[in-house]
């Protein structure tokens, strides 16, 4: 079973990622077990999927947290995709999911992000990291989560900016 980094530890991935359909998201057959479906499939089949507790949704970089909206809080997992690691929209999407839509489940980065982005992603609320490249040494990669111990801005894991904590 493939592995991923979750909550600062290496764990086995229980979830299957479903690719985006070329067309007809309503016709996609969702297998049993824990499945992360594309946003379009969720939107098309929401009525029949809401009763399942093993459905997650992934949001591509050209899709928006607003398209999932309040649904997020009913899901155990939401993933944000990096088609390329330079595409930084997922940072905003992740933060919106946590701060605007109060998503409390597993927020997973998927796709082509690199380990050097893990610190920033974590501060945007991502707590699970599934590298596209399965050959990556996760023990090594995880070290990047600890590059910094202090930050200037408010973020998902530290809502108080440094200027407020400094003067406290």
Partner 1 sequence: MYIYDKYDHDILSQRVAQFRDQTRRYLDGSLSEAEFLPLRLQNGLYVQRLAPMLRINVPYGMLNTTQLRRLARIARDYDKGYCHVSTRQNIQYNWPDLEQVPDILAELAEVEMHGTQSSGNCIRNITSDQFAGTAPDEVVDPRPYCEIIRQWSSFHPEFAFLPRKFKIAISGSELDRAAIQVHDIGLQLVTDNNGEIGFKVIVGGGLGRTPVIGSVIREFLPRLEVLNYLEAILRVYNLHGRRDNKFKARIKILVRAMGADVFAEAVEQEWQQIKESPSTLRDEDFDNAKAFFTEPAYETLNDDAVQTALEQQSADNRAFSKWLERNVRPHKVAGYAAVTLSLKPTGIAPGDITDGQLEVIADLADQYSFSEVRTTHEQNMVLADVKKSDLFALWEAARSAGFATPNIGTLTDIICCPGGDFCSLANAKSIPIAEAIQRQFSDLDYVYDLGDLDLNISGCMNACGHHHVGHIGILGVDKKGQEFYQVMLGGNAGNNASLAKVLGPAFGADDMPQVVQKVVDVFLENRTEEELFIDTYQRIGITPFKERVYAKAS
Give the interface with partner 1 as residue ranges (CB under 8 A).
Answer: 64, 85-89, 91-93, 95, 100, 114, 116-117, 119-121, 123-124, 147-155, 159-164, 166-167
Q: Which is nearer to partner 1, 15 or 120 (CB)?
A: 120
- What's the CA gap between 125 and 165, in Å, rounded? 20
- Output the smallest distance, CB 37 to partner 1, in A: 22
H-only helix segments in 21-137: 39-49, 65-68, 89-99, 118-123
Q: Nearest-CA neighbor of 4 among 106, 147, 148?
A: 106
Q: Which is nearer to partner 1, 21 or 119 (CB)?
A: 119
- Output the smallest distance, CB 131 to partner 1, in A: 12
Q: Which is nearer to partner 1, 47 or 62 (CB)?
A: 62
CA–chain centroid gap for 26, Å, is 23
Q: Which is nearer to partner 1, 35 or 109 (CB)?
A: 109
- For residue 163, give the H/E element and its range: helix 162-166
- Output the smallest distance, CB 74 to partner 1, in A: 21
Instruction: Tell me the chain's radius of gyration from C-alpha atoms.
Output: 16
- Output the smallest distance, CB 15 to partner 1, in A: 25
Tell me the β-bridge partners of 56.
36
- Output the smallest distance, CB 112 to partner 1, in A: 10
Nearest 5°: phi and psi at 5?
Answer: -95, 125
- Written as six digits, the tokens of 56 are 């997650």
Q: Which is nearer to partner 1, 139 or 149 (CB)?
A: 149
């Amino acid at each position: 079973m493939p592995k991923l980094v979750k909550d600062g530890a290496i764990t086995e991935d229980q979830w299957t990622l479903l690719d985006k359909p070329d067309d007809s998201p309503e016709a996609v057959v969702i297998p049993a077990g824990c499945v992360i479906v594309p946003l379009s499939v969720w939107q098309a089949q929401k009525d029949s999927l809401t009763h399942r507790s093993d459905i997650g949704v992934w949001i591509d970089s050209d899709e928006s947290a607003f398209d999932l909206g309040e649904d997020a809080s009913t899901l155990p997992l939401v993933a944000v995709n990096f088609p390329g690691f330079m595409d930084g929209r997922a940072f905003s999407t992740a933060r919106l999911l946590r701060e605007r839509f109060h998503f409390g489940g597993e927020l997973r980065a998927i796709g082509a992000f690199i380990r050097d982005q893990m610190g920033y992603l974590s501060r945007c609320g991502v707590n699970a990291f599934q590298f596209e490249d399965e050959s990556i040494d996760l023990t090594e990669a995880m070290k990047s989560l600890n590059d910094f111990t202090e930050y200037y801005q408010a973020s998902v894991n530290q809502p108080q900016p440094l200027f407020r904590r400094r003067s406290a």
